[in-house]
């Protein structure tokens, strides 16, 4: 990328951004209450799937279908997501250059980034949000890293061999996206950062640096497995402050749901007027049943599993086990005759066992901070 091109692009961003279409203002109704993070105007659990419908396929949730969409494909709200989204927004508005969440597998880290991608623009009044992942991509060279980022950004012009050409195309792509919405803020959501070798960090650093040169305000929010903590400690030991400042200014733990948080997630699906039960299980609504009734048997089933495993500590429920367990429960409520008045502890326990949770629950023991 030549200096003339960079200078010209920077001038264009500075000149055009104020005159560009103003970013939509955040809905006042969505403003956060004290101590509570605001949410998108439409709650994700009520949204339709984003994917296009296949020709001739029945609509999601069509009566008689074998796959009723009790839960949408769109990201689902949880208390853990709300808590960490509030932290993420604090980092962004404070112009932090880079921060990290680290957490155990299958707890919903990637799900959180999908939720954040949808939630950030309306909450900030507009921003360019780019979600990248290093899982499954070759990352052994600068060319491979830049090519994967270009493809994930929706730019197919990734056949060049020169790293400088690939970098130039990626920067131009992000600058154009910022110009199109009149925003200077670019949020890079990076998943599975532990898969990127440390000697490839300068590639990300160069992206951030060029975005700043173009008058934009980048922020890298990364997600990784717990083993990245050792790598971060090595960076501190080697005093690599440039890398630490750009990616690890703050490192926070992202964890699974407590039982109470799982119950709150279920209550949120129901909505205040029991609309979920009314739609899917009208026969249960007629007898006054709602999803709130799942709380006690869920707690009892977790207590029984803890007793079976000899665990004195409280345990957490990974999101990627809770979601399929809920769908098993909903299918029972719809199809099993003996469940037509609700679910018992035994039913909930069976659903948890179908997800494989009992075999891994010892790996999700809560610490003192979680309890």
Q: Does domain 3-8+74-253 have CATH number 3.40.50.300?
A: yes
Indicate the pTM of the whole model.
0.79
Neighbours of 19 (CB within 10 A): 8
Q: 108's torsion region: left (phi>0), alpha (psi -120 to 50) or beta?
A: left
Q: Tens digit of pLDDT per residue, the chain (371 long)? A: 444 544 444 444 344 443 333 333 444 334 344 334 444 333 444 333 344 444 444 444 444 456 678 887 778 899 999 999 999 999 999 999 999 999 999 999 999 999 999 999 999 988 999 999 999 887 889 999 999 999 999 988 877 788 999 999 999 999 999 999 999 999 999 999 999 999 999 999 999 999 999 999 999 999 999 999 999 999 999 999 989 999 999 999 999 999 999 999 999 998 778 889 998 998 888 888 889 999 999 999 999 999 999 999 999 999 999 999 999 999 999 888 888 788 999 999 999 999 999 999 999 998 766 54
Q: Where in the chain is the domain with CATH 3.40.50.300?
A: 3-8+74-253
Q: Give one DSSP letter per residue of 290-333, joined into a string.
A: -GGGGHHHHHHHHHHHHHHHT--S-B-B-HHHHHHHHHHHHHHH
Q: Which pLDDT does position 263 carry in this prediction?
A: 96
pLDDT in tens, 36-62: 444 433 344 433 334 444 444 444 444
Q: How far apart are CA 213 and CA 158, in angstroms?
A: 23
């Amino acid at each position: 990328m030549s200096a003339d091109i960079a200078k010209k692009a920077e001038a264009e961003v500075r000149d055009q951004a104020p005159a560009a279409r103003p970013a939509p203002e955040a809905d006042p109704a969505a403003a956060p209450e004290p101590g509570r993070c605001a949410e998108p105007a439409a709650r994700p659990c009520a949204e339709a799937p984003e994917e296009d419908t296949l020709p001739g396929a029945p609509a999601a949730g069509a009566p008689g279908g074998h796959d009723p969409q009790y839960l949408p494909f769109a990201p689902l709200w949880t208390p853990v997501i709300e808590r960490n989204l509030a932290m993420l927004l604090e980092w962004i508005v404070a112009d932090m250059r880079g921060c990290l969440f680290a957490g155990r597998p299958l707890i919903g880290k990637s799900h959180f980034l999908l939720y954040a991608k949808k939630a950030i623009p309306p909450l900030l009044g507009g921003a360019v949000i780019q979600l990248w992942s290093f899982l499954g991509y070759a990352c052994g060279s600068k060319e491979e890293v830049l090519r994967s980022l270009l493809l994930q950004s929706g730019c197919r012009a990734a056949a060049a061999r020169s790293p400088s050409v690939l970098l130039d195309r990626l920067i131009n792509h992000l600058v154009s996206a910022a110009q199109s919405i009149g925003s200077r803020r670019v949020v890079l959501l990076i998943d599975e950062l532990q898969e990127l070798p440390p000697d490839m960090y300068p590639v990300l650093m160069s992206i951030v640096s060029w975005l700043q040169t173009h008058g934009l305000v980048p922020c890298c929010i990364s997600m990784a497995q717990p083993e990245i903590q050792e790598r971060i400690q090595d960076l501190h030991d080697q005093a690599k402050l440039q890398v630490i400042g750009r990616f690890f200014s703050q490192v926070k733990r992202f964890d699974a749901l407590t039982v109470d948080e799982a119950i709150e997630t279920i209550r949120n699906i129901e909505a205040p007027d029991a609309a979920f039960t009314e739609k899917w299980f009208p026969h249960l609504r007629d007898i006054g049943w709602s999803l709130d009734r799942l709380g006690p048997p869920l707690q009892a089933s977790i207590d029984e599993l803890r007793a079976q495993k000899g665990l004195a500590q409280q345990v957490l429920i990974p999101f990627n086990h809770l979601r399929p367990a809920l769908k098993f429960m909903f299918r029972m409520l719809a199809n099993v005759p003996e469940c037509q008045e609700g679910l018992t502890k035994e039913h909930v326990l069976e659903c948890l066992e179908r997800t494989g949770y009992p075999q891994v629950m010892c790996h999700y023991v809560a610490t003192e901070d979680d309890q």
